[in-house]
Amino acid sequence: MKILLAPDVYVNASVAGAGLAPAQVVDRVLGNKKARQKTTEWVLTTTSAMLAAHPSFKKEAVEPQMKLIRDLVDVVDSEEHDEHDWAESLLAAARAAEVARVVTDHPDLADKDEIDGIEFVSSDAWMIEQTTPPPPLPPL
């Protein structure tokens, strides 16, 4: 699965619970035994800051949650970018992780046209792709 998970997907999965799309995406991607997920320090730092700021996520749970995530991913270096610009930061992270798709539920990015060859897809759309069977073969 050559995708990058955006910080909001990690946060939504951490806060929302098991039955919702972000949690299902994270479970599928991080539970993949064939290949470890790549991410960047920006994704992890932003995830940590968002979890710490979330009113329903316990402050004392942030560090253990981030350790769990870090244990399941490989951190790669990314090019310089404006850390407050999500599109630019996710583009840099996707390039560093060598992926062409980013799963994000960010309202300005999810399910938009691709930017510089990187496609942004929502967690709901990605889960539908993963669970929809292929069409039947045409008759011979």
Q: What is the pTM of this model?
A: 0.85
Gap between the terminal Cα atoms of the chain: 32
Which segments in the chain show pLDDT lower than 70? 1, 18
In this structure, are residues 102 and 90 in contact, taking their beta carbons and an 8 Å threshold? yes
Collapsing DSSP states into helix, strand and coil, what is residue 118?
A: strand
Domain range summary for the chain, segments of one domain joined by +:
4-130
The per-residue pLDDT for range 11-44, each reduced to its tens digit, is: 988 887 767 777 777 877 777 777 788 999 999 9
Phi/psi at 118 (5° precision)? -105, 125
In this structure, are residues 103 and 25 in contact, taking their beta carbons and an 8 Å threshold? yes
In this structure, are residues 105 and 9 in contact, taking their beta carbons and an 8 Å threshold? yes
Q: Which CATH superfamily includes the segment(s) 4-130?
A: 5'-nuclease (3.40.50.1010)
Q: Report pLDDT for 1.
A: 61
